[in-house]
């Protein structure tokens, strides 16, 4: 069964450092997403991406965040200068289309710890 893969599974970084979280969406999917889950809190939408541009972003997704699809397979989330409050589990997801009942496929997540 096709799956979304994320690397690394766990990243520890010092406050102020840049991190790049990587994702390989399902190969025939066209829409890509990042969500995050701070420990003990709900999963939150960050950003959606289609046709090499951001299609929607939440209030969380400020100027410190950026996304990129550098090649035909990878989809990355960059945090330029990490803060303690960026510590969370980050999930990548993809969908084939946008029809209402389309389910999203999620990766296993990257646990980011900012110290």
Partner 1 sequence: AQSVAQPEDQVNVAEGNPLTVKCTYSVSGNPYLFWYVQYPNRGLQFLLKYITGDNLVKGSYGFEAEFNKSQTSFHLKKPSALVSDSALYFCAVRAPRAMDSNYQLIWGAGTKLIIKP
Residues forming contacts to partner 1 in the complex (CB under 8 A) are 4, 6, 9, 31, 33, 35, 41-45, 48, 55-56, 91, 93, 95, 98-109
- Burial letters for 40-53: b for 16+ Cβ neighbours within 10 Å, e otherwise? eeeebbbbbbeeee
Q: How far apart are CA 67 and CA 9, in angstroms?
A: 18
Q: Which is nearer to partner 1, 33 or 65 (CB)?
A: 33
Q: Which is nearer to partner 1, 71 or 99 (CB)?
A: 99
Could you tell me the smallest distance in angstroms from the CB atom of residue 43 to partner 1?
Answer: 4
Strand partners, 49: 32, 54
Could you tell me the smallest distance in angstroms from the CB atom of residue 10 to partner 1?
Answer: 10
CB 77 within 8 A of CB 56: no
Q: Which is nearer to partner 1, 55 or 81 (CB)?
A: 55
């Amino acid at each position: 069964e096709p799956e979304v893969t994320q690397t690394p599974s766990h990243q520890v970084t010092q406050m102020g450092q840049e991190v790049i979280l990587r994702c390989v969406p399902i190969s025939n999917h066209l829409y890509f997403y990042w969500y995050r889950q701070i420990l003990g809190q709900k999963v939150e939408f960050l950003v959606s991406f289609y046709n090499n541009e951001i299609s929607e972003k939440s209030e969380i997704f400020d100027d410190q965040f950026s996304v990129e699809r550098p090649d035909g397979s990878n989809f990355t989330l960059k945090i330029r200068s990490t803060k303690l409050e960026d510590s969370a589990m980050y999930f990548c997801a993809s969908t084939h289309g946008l029809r209402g009942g389309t389910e999203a496929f999620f990766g296993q997540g990257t646990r980011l710890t900012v110290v």
